[in-house]
Amino acid sequence: MPSETHTETANRFTAVLWDFDGTLVDTEPRWVEAELAILASHGVVWDRDYANGFTGGPLTDVCEAMAASIGGARTIDEIRHDLIAMVSRFNREREVPWRPGVLQLLTEMREAGIPMAIVTGSAYAVVEPVLAAMTEEIGNPFNTVVTFDDVTPQTTKPAPDPYLLAAERLGVNISECLAVEDSPKGAASATDAGAAVLTVSGPAQVGPGPRRVHRPDLSGLSLADVISLWHLADEPPAPIANGGGGVLRSGERVTLTDPKGRKHSIVLQPGGIFHTTKGAVRHDDLIGGPQGVVVTSVGGLNFLAMRPILSEFTVSMPREAAIIYPKEAAQIIMWADIFPGARVLEAGVGSGGLSIPLLRAIGPNGHLYSYERRQEFADVARKNVASFYGEVPSTWHLKVSDLVTGIGPEPLDRVILDMLAPWECVETVSRVLVPGGVLCCYVATTTQMGRVMDTLRADGGWTEPSATETTTRDWHAEGLAIRPAHGTTGHTGFLVMSRRLAPGVTAPMRKRRPAPGAYGPDYHGPRPRNITEHDQWRLPKEER
């Protein structure tokens, strides 16, 4: 095999430390079976869930509990001897219950030259029959084995000593190791030792923790996948604006997509439940794991779980007022030419649907001045912006005020007006918008659109306004079946764009005259400067 470069080895763990029962092999039920059998021989019955509670803990803990239940008929050491002997016999006589994906991963890691160790709270007599079977099947990939026999009852799991001993034997730094565990106590042992931990599902649920990532099992995972998970466990949390960072955590907003493409936005909470017509989806099945996974409801319905991107966040966040939808927000960023460092004013903040992409576009050196008349709208917008960015950006200046009376003196590069009557603010913003600056008005109706455009023409200090409407259409493509999908996002609003001229400059008169009747007797709004009251419209040729 070709030798690996330093960069390749530096970008992965130096060793993998494997738990045994429940991680490499599904032998935890054999321990419970042995415990219940020994207790039954003394006329004692344990609840199976109670027996599962000792999973991953020190062997002495369950032996002490069994001795207390039996009432002194057997000593702790005698019970431990009986347990080890019975489970060892099970492992010799029965087929090895490999956990999904284990043998393939062990083979790939061994071929890559990665040192590996078994770190278990079981005795070596329990491990030895499985190691013998593994050697016959794929060879022995382990450089060392740390068992209950190598530590004291006080320093076995959940103490960090077994993992520290394994790293010492391998000659590696424990902080550069990946431990694979299935129990809370085993995971605590590896975490306290300083290793990153990949947890898999077992009888007892392992909760989230530092340097920890969870997967239900190892099936389908390659070495490259495990390395990616190792990196993920070390990623610090980050706001949604920066991709989220690392594993899914409590308090994060997640988008669940069902097989029909319907999206559901939830905020993860420990013990939380998302109810569906096909049963519940547990939040705990997502917390601590990566995004981009499939979670299944109790009734068998699969959901794809992802952190929301900007367009999903803005349509799913809490709101008090209607928002500018992503399709218009994207057009505004492009056609209004929002650049890093720009000084931008928006009036009509609503729930912050446009504030969020504007803040991203202006970057850390820009300034966004947001005006909102209603305090309750401003409060919701502030919360949404803080939720997306992790804090309220210092580049955002939110003011609860009427724009006409409260506008500041700061010069502006761009102005976006999202309000009922933006024409009332044209004169106000013209005093602070720099020459060449862009004005964008978002309006819902054609009458509003016309009024804004005529106001700009009548003022004379603006370029000829343009108006656009944006629609999007989904497409269905499967093999040769390619056609428009049924879902189409139609009208939500119009965008009117114009640029500010230099002080004292008026726009040249347009040579093309309006259509006949455009400014006829029934029109009562502002008129372009070349249309007078006595020259309101032209007769059609046939009437002249």
Residues paired with residue 304 on neighbouring β-strands, in sequence order = 257, 294
Beta pairing class for 273-276 and 177-181: unpaired
Q: Closest by alpha carbon to 180, among 219, 226, 249? A: 226
Q: Calculate the dihedral angle through the C-alpha atoms of 173, 178, 180, 185, rounding to the nearest 10 degrees.
A: 50
Max distance between CA atoms of the chain, in angstroms, equals 121
Helix/strand/coil for 409: coil
Q: Closest by alpha carbon to 413, among 365, 372, 452? A: 365
Backbone φ/ψ region at 363: left (φ over 0), alpha (ψ -120 to 50), beta: left
Last residue within a domain, chosen from 50, 68, 93: 93
Last residue within a domain, chosen from 308, 336, 352: 308
pLDDT value at position 510? 72
**What phi and psi values does residue 526 have, to the nearest 5 degrees?**
-65, 145
DSSP assignment, residue 25? B
Residue numbers of the domain that contains 65: 27-93
pLDDT value at position 489? 75
**Element spanning 375, H or E:** helix 375-389
Tokens of 183: 């129990």
Question: Which runs of E-coded beta strand occur in 7-65?
Answer: 15-18
* Same domain? 211 vs 199: yes
Q: Within a 10 A sphere around the Cβ of 453, how many other Cβ atoms?
A: 25
The answer to whether position 291 is within a domain reads yes
Contact 19, 189 (CB under 8 A): no
Tokens 């249309």 correspond to what residue? 531
- Report how many domains make up the chain: 4
pLDDT value at position 8? 46
The answer to whether position 277 is within a domain reads yes
What CATH number does residue 445 fall under? 3.40.50.150
* Same domain? 123 vs 81: no
Q: Is 403 exposed, middle or buried (0-12, 13-18, 19+ CB in 10 A)?
A: buried
**DSSP per residue, 265-326:** EEE--TT-EEEETTEEEEGGGTTTS-SSEEEE-TTS-EEEEE---HHHHHHHS--SS----H
**Cα-based distances in Å from 364 to 54, 245, 276, 384:** 52, 20, 41, 19
**What phi and psi values does residue 468 have, to the nearest 5 degrees?**
-135, 155
The answer to whether position 297 is within a domain reads yes
What CATH number does residue 270 fall under? 3.10.330.20
pLDDT value at position 521? 72
pLDDT value at position 5? 43
Instruction: Give the span between the Cα atoms of 184 and 214, in whole angstroms.
Output: 12
- Angle subtended at Cα 51 by Cα 49 and Cα 52, rounded to the nearest 5 degrees: 65
* Same domain? 339 vs 462: yes
**Element spanning 428, H or E:** helix 426-430
The answer to whether position 509 is within a domain reads no
Residues paired with residue 213 on neighbouring β-strands, in sequence order = 198
Last residue within a domain, chosen from 308, 328, 359: 308
* Same domain? 65 vs 44: yes
* Same domain? 133 vs 35: no
* Same domain? 450 vs 422: yes
* Same domain? 39 vs 104: no
The answer to whether position 165 is within a domain reads yes
* Same domain? 290 vs 331: no
pLDDT digits (tens, 9 = 90+) for 42-55: 999 998 888 888 87
**Cα-based distances in Å from 531 to 446, 461, 527, 528, 543:** 21, 16, 6, 5, 20
The answer to whether position 322 is within a domain reads yes
**Element spanning 81, H or E:** helix 76-93
The answer to whether position 355 is within a domain reads yes
Instruction: Give the span between the Cα atoms of 172 and 193, in whole angstroms.
Output: 13
Q: Is 275 exposed, middle or buried (0-12, 13-18, 19+ CB in 10 A)?
A: exposed
DSSP assignment, residue 500? B
Residue 41: what residue type? S
Q: Is the dihedral of CA 119, 121, 124, 125 positive or negative?
A: negative
Peptide bond into 141 cis (omega under 30): no
Tokens of 95: 């087929």
Helix/strand/coil for 470: coil
DSSP assignment, residue 98? B
* Same domain? 155 vs 225: yes
* Same domain? 278 vs 405: no
Residue ranges of the chain with per-residue pLDDT less than 70: 1-10, 511-513, 517, 530, 532-544
What CATH number does residue 101 fall under? 3.40.50.1000
Residue 230: what residue type? W
Q: Is 378 exposed, middle or buried (0-12, 13-18, 19+ CB in 10 A)?
A: buried
Instruction: Give the span between the Cα atoms of 289 and 301, in whole angstroms.
Output: 19
* Same domain? 107 vs 169: yes
pLDDT value at position 3? 44
* Same domain? 393 vs 441: yes
Residues 6+ apart with CB under 8 A from 8: none
What 3 state SS string does 504-538 have?
CCCCCCCCCCCCCCCCCCCCCCCCCCCCCCCCCCC
The answer to whether position 418 is within a domain reads yes
Contact 213, 289 (CB under 8 A): yes
pLDDT value at position 514? 73
Q: Closest by alpha carbon to 313, among 384, 401, 218? A: 384
